[in-house]
Amino acid sequence: MTEVLRALAPGKTNLCLFLGPTRPDGLHELVSVIEPLSLADELTLEPLEGGALVAAGPPLAGETCAAGADEVVCAGVEGPNLAAAALARYRAATGWEGPPRRLTIVKRVPVAAGMGGGSGDAAATLRLAAHAAGRPGDPAIAALAPQLGADVPSQVEPRPVLVHGAGEHVESFAPPPPHGVLVLPSRERLSTPDVFREADRLGIGRDAGELAALRERLRDGLAPALIANDLQDAARSLCPAIDDALAAARDAGAEQALVSGSGPTVVGLFWGADGEERAAAAAAALSGRFPGAVAARPVGPDFAAVVGVRDNGGSS
Ligand SMILES: C[C@](O)(CO)[C@H](O)COP(=O)(O)OP(=O)(O)OC[C@H]1O[C@@H](n2ccc(N)nc2=O)[C@H](O)[C@@H]1O
Ligand SMILES: Nc1ncnc2c1ncn2[C@@H]1O[C@H](COP(=O)(O)OP(=O)(O)OP(=O)(O)O)[C@@H](O)[C@H]1O
């Protein structure tokens, strides 16, 4: 069996996000259509040479953290890593005692940007761990995902989904018509809890009845009038530079421009068979003003599947 495993962790955007009341556990009810994108982190899980002895060494500054005897290397992310938590919890929940592994994450999804980067990494780590344990598709993954974060369940099997509850209820959603996505990252970062708090302060949020009605309307598909993000004004309030990005995306030809998740990343949607091409042209035109501007396309589970990697780098 191949020892080195690799998986892509797609970033996500919310094609719509409707905010509801706060629950007793402090999380907000929401209804959202989430779409995984080709802008993705790359994760490699491989045997850790020297086993636990290596993991006991001092971490590389801000880049490495231990998950029990496993090691997670993730340049660009300081502090505790959600992928390390995913690996540790998978071992604890399933009793998997395979030899220590090194998990290396190459970040491409902007951090603290509303694209679910950490959540996608955690979900991909659960897929990798289940494969390494010889249990691909392990039902333990679905049980662990909501414990790791509201965005993790929707990314366990990346595909268009309708989520409700605080994010833990995930239903398949018919893929929207062909489109390309312009991603405009921000120089700033936003903390998700801060954005939800700001939404509360601004009095954004719908009652339970309105939220249920919107969920019902989404059963007929994503009508253009439903493409909106209730967290957008909260993110704009904390990061006014978002307004420039929204205007730039529209000026570049996007039919809709909106904040992704809790922001501050802005996405522009380009519909039609030429949508990907138009999004790519917009990204090229805007890359000077918006470093990291990139075009992405919607992806499905095949894109994110775990593959074995041979020593020569080929896939099996
Ligand atoms: C904004 C979204 O990205 C939309 O997809 C998600 O709702 C956020 O998901 P996430 O980053 O995985 O969020 P978590 O890590 O679970 O929660 C971070 C914090 O965000 C707030 N939070 C999150 C999700 C939710 N439904 N209600 C909330 O109020 C809470 O303050 C929570 O403590
Ligand atoms: N693997 C990871 N990738 C990115 N951030 C991580 C990771 N693990 C932990 N974090 C921490 O999580 C915080 C949020 O980062 P992330 O990129 O997941 O935010 P986000 O995309 O805004 O989240 P969401 O869209 O799910 O609300 C960061 O400040 C970072 O320190």
* Residue pLDDT, tens place only, 211-268: 999 999 999 999 999 999 999 999 999 999 999 999 999 999 999 999 999 999 999 9
| CATH code assigned at 240 | 3.30.70.890
CA atoms of 43 and 256, how far apart (whole Å): 32
Residue at which a domain ends, from 119, 147, 172? 172
CA angle 300, 305, 311 (to 5 degrees): 145
* Burial bucket for residue 139 (CB in 10 Å: 0-12, 13-18, 19+): exposed
309 lies in a domain?
no
188 and 279 assigned to the same domain:
yes
Q: Does residue 23 share a domain with residue 166?
A: yes
Q: What is the pLDDT of residue 314?
A: 55
Both 106 and 188 in one domain: the answer is no
Residues 86 and 9 both lie in one domain: yes
The answer to whether residue 260 is domain-embedded is: yes
ipTM above 0.90, yes or no: yes
Q: What lines the ligand 1 site, CB under 6 Å?
A: 14, 17, 27-28, 30, 32, 34, 116, 119, 149-151, 166-167, 192-193, 196, 261-262
* Binding-site entries for ATP: 110-120
Tell me, yes or no, whether 136 and 10 share the same domain. Answer: yes
Q: For residue 10, how far is its CA from the centre of ligand 1 (angstroms)? A: 18
Which of residues 172, 206, 238 is at a domain's end?
A: 172
CA of 151 to the centre of ligand 1 (A): 7
Whether residue 314 lies inside any domain: the answer is no
* Boundary-marking domain end, from 118, 145, 172: 172
Domain of residue 155, CATH code:
3.30.230.10
Are residue 33 and residue 133 in the same domain, yes or no? yes
Range of the domain at 120: 4-172
Q: If DSSP codes are grouped into helix, strand and coil, which group holds residue 38? A: strand
Task: Provide the greatest CA pair distance for the chain.
Answer: 57
**The pLDDT of residue 65:** 46
Q: Which residues of the chain have pLDDT under 50?
A: 1, 52-66
Rounded distance between C-alpha atoms, residue 281 and residue 293, angstroms = 11
Residue 48 domain flag: yes
Question: Is the same domain home to 167 and 193?
Answer: no
Q: Closest ligand 1 atom to the C-alpha of 22?
A: 29
Same domain, 53 and 196: no
Whose tokens are 């409707």? That residue is 18
Per the residue annotation, which of 25, 151, 233, 311 is the catalytic one? 151
CA distance 172 to 162: 6
**Long-range contacts, 55-63 (Cβ 8 Å, 24+):** 55/100
Is there a domain that residue 302 lies in?
no
Domain annotation covers residue 303: no
Residue 310 is predicted with a pLDDT of 73
Best residue among 77, 107, 259 to mutate for probing ligand 2's pocket (most ligand atoms within 8 Å of CB) is 77
Q: Is residue 316 part of a domain?
A: no
Residue at 307 is within a domain: no
| Tally of domains in the chain | 2
Instruction: Examine the domain organization and report whether 187 and 264 are in the same domain.
Output: yes
* CA gap 106, 74 in Å, rounded: 6
Same domain, 196 and 243: yes
Whether 239 and 107 share a structural domain: no
- pLDDT of 59 reads 40
At 77 the three-state DSSP class reads coil
> In this structure, are 202 and 135 located in the same domain?
no
List pLDDT tens digits, range 151-176: 999 999 999 999 999 999 999 999 99
C-alpha angle with apex 251: 286 to 34, nearest 5 degrees? 80
SS3 content of the chain, % helix, strand, coil (to 5): 30, 25, 40
Separation CA 60–CA 313 (nearest Å) = 25
